[in-house]
């Protein structure tokens, strides 16, 4: 199927989505022979975050986003993709997820820039839906804002999701931050102490941590951050940066730390400054 045919298929045969999910070839285990993971993140639009660099609507063209995802998923060394139901279902219909990991993004209610951003409710996948769609795990964002009581609801929602995914023996990928508001906007505290606190809280969520992985940014003193848990950690790709070499060097240093198992990157690989998706992905694979 071609990208241009997706809307027609969705309109005429909505059951094709379930058929594609049922027929998808799955991996036996998340980590392959390399012992590392490289997952492409594509769950930004559902939070209303479609900007890349100086372009406020860079990710708004869905056909272009899907085309870039198909290019990335075709590169050797890429293990899978992280996305909301609309994106993952498009990729299933396109037939590009066979043998790849498909991680469902779960809580998308905390829309970027809103007054209720910290109240990050589960408005996409839940654990049962992830299992029914034969996905390989679920991802959730946890921002701890001490002055916002909505943090407690997000904590509870994430704990339920971790427990629910574990009942299905599926990966729970938790992305934790300590957050605060500056001039009304939510900003993550990217200090070693802030990330140590976030990692410590996230590690204890749910009735078991057996299937929990952490998704964390590269910050100063990463050894201290990773030492705060025994859970496997994946590096967060972060924003698109003009100094690509510095980003790659940061990933490379962090990958040497025991406990760091791979990388989850989105905009930095799909929308690199030079526009070359293949080269950006291949450089990330080289880091791993």
* pLDDT tens digit sequence for 47-59: 999 999 889 999 9
Does residue 34 carry a pLDDT above 80? no
201, 176 contact by CB (below 8 A): yes
Relative orientation angle of helices 244-255 and 277-287, to the nearest 10 degrees: 30
Distance CA 132, CA 216 (A): 28
Burial class (CB in 10 A: 0-12, 13-18, 19+), 238: middle
d(CA 106, CA 113): 19
Picking from 275, 277, 274, the residue whose alpha carbon sits closest to that of residue 71 is: 277
Classify domain 36-287 at the CATH topology level.
TIM Barrel (3.20.20)
Q: Which residue is listed with tokens 């070839």?
A: 25
What percentage of the chain has pLDDT greater than the value 90? 89
How far, in whole angstroms, is CA 191 from its chain's centroid?
21
CA neighbor of 133 nearest in space, from 157, 106, 156, 158: 106
Residue 143 binned pLDDT confidence (cut-offs 50, 70, 90): very high
Instruction: Return the pLDDT at 30.
Output: 82
CA distance 77 to 129: 28
What digits encode the pLDDT tens for the residues 201-223?
999 999 999 999 999 999 999 99
Output the pLDDT for position 241.
Answer: 66
Residues 242 and 52: their CA atoms lie apart, in Å, by 12
Report DSSP state, residue 178.
Answer: E
pLDDT reported for residue 240: 66
């Amino acid at each position: 199927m071609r990208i241009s045919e997706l809307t027609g298929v969705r309109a005429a045969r909505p059951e094709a989505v379930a058929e594609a999910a049922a027929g998808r070839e799955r991996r036996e285990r998340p980590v392959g022979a390399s012992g590392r993971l490289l997952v492409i993140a594509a769950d930004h639009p559902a939070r209303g975050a479609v900007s890349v660099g100086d372009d406020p609507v860079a990710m708004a063209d869905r056909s272009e986003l899907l085309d870039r995802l198909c290019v990335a998923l075709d590169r050797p060394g890429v293990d899978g993709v992280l996305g909301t139901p609309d994106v993952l279902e498009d990729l299933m219909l396109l037939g590009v997820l066979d043998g790849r990991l498909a991680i469902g993004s779960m809580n998308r209610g905390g829309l970027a820039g809103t007054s209720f951003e910290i109240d990050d409710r589960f408005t996409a996948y839940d654990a049962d839906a992830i299992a029914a769609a034969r996905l390989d795990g679920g991802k959730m964002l946890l921002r701890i804002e001490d002055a916002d009581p909505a943090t407690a609801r997000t904590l509870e929602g994430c704990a339920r999701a971790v427990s629910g995914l574990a009942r299905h023996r599926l990966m729970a990928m938790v992305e934790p931050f300590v957050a605060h508001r500056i001039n009304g906007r939510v900003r993550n505290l990217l200090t070693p102490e802030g990330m140590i606190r976030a990692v410590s809280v996230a590690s204890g969520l749910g009735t078991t941590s057996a299937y929990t992985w952490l998704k964390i940014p590269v910050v100063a003193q990463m050894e201290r951050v990773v030492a705060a848990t025994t859970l496997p950690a994946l590096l967060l790709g972060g924003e698109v940066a003009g100094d690509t070499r510095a980003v790659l060097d940061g990933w490379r240093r962090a990958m040497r730390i025991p406990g760091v198992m791979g990388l989850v990157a989105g905009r930095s690989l799909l929308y690199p400054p030079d526009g070359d998706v293949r080269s950006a992905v291949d450089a990330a694979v080289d880091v791993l």
